[in-house]
Structure 1
């Protein structure tokens, strides 16, 4: 995540939401840890992984939607704003909700790493505690750099961390724990790395 905020005065969440409302088609903005981050839009392989996961979720759990565009209020006291690569929730859960929805009822967030300098800090460092503090039961990280899938579960809202982290190499099977309950065969992910 590009940390423009290092050289900018502090910004309130309301100011950020106004600023983010005019985000361009080349970046997506997030506000985590009191800092604005610019997330580059995805490449074709990133999109292929998103579509693979969408199809899988639709087949295994037709009662759920995997939304690739929904923004969420995350972090303690709702001071952060994240736009995951996927947000799994009951069908039509986000109908009528604003651009930055409350995470209550979200079953899983998904991040797919990008090939940019900020992916380590954004997806591996900042996002897990933010999603845990928001009480999101499962965080799925598809890490194209390490060729691993990591499943974070058992969030501890108070401590802002997940109690269980399970990793497998691309090619292995991994089960997304309840309340998701989907098994992933990650063999296809080998096709989407550089």
Structure 2
């Protein structure tokens, strides 16, 4: 008789998550600007953002303030993600109601989060982290929309409709084009400013 694999969280995974939190706190105390994440069952260092990265995040924050009175795009907000491996991630942006994280500790539950945002950095781990592991982790957590600003590819990708641990919809637009951020976000993102800030954007 073939036994189906046990998909439930195991005690070992929980211990690993607790160990990670302790390591992450120590690392952030000892090394200024270091941010650790635990996604896909492994610990990774999140690159310190450069100037363009920071400008893109600030631009998105300002857009969200313009479109929403009661929502904010929080930067570097720690989230507990993934249903199986008990991951920990710090998205570049987390869209949630104003004051949503006030009662939360360092690592907040993703329930109530409307969108996560990642802006790629020019490091070796970007492909696996932002294009593979993060979409899976955010979908598993039920986050409705994931926006990836891909500086290397010169395009933005919008993931939506998380079902069964994966996003069912994915729409990509080159920098300079417009793309819809679906409900519950619900506005059109004009990416023209990204062409100005990102010299690596390919001609389309």
Q: TM-score, normalised by structure 1?
A: 0.91
Aligned to 1:5: none
- The C-alpha deviation readout for 1:171-193, integer Å capped at 9, x for no partner, is 01111000001211100001222
From 121, 124, 132, give the equivalent of 2:128. 121
Aligned to 2:107: 100
Aligned to 1:80: 87
Q: TM-score, normalised by structure 2?
A: 0.87
- Change in Cα spacing, 1:100 to 1:78, as seen in structure 2 (3 Å) is farther
Q: Distance in 2 between matches of 1:104 and 1:128?
A: 16
- Segments of 5+ residues of structure 2 without an aligned counterpart are 1-12, 200-204
| Deviation of the 1:115 alpha carbon | 0.5
Aligned to 2:185: 180
Whether the aligned pair in 2 keeps the contact of 1:65 and 1:88 (CA below 8 Å) is yes
Aligned to 2:47: 40
Correspondence 1:134 to 2:141: yes
From 53, 66, 72, give the equivalent of 2:60. 53
Q: Distance in 1 between matches of 2:152 and 2:84?
A: 32
- Segments of 5+ residues of structure 1 without an aligned counterpart are 1-9
From 12, 15, 25, give the equivalent of 1:21. 25
- The C-alpha deviation readout for 1:145-194, integer Å capped at 9, x for no partner, is 001010000001x3x21000000000011110000012111000012224
Correspondence 1:162 to 2:167: yes
Instruction: Give the SS at the match of 1:12.
Output: helix
From 181, 191, 195, give the equivalent of 1:190. 195
Look at both structures and tell me which one has the larger radius of gyration over its CA atoms.
2
Q: Distance in 2 between matches of 1:94 and 1:62?
A: 16
Give the structure with the larger strand fraction.
Answer: 1
- Give the CA RMSD over aligned residues: 1.3
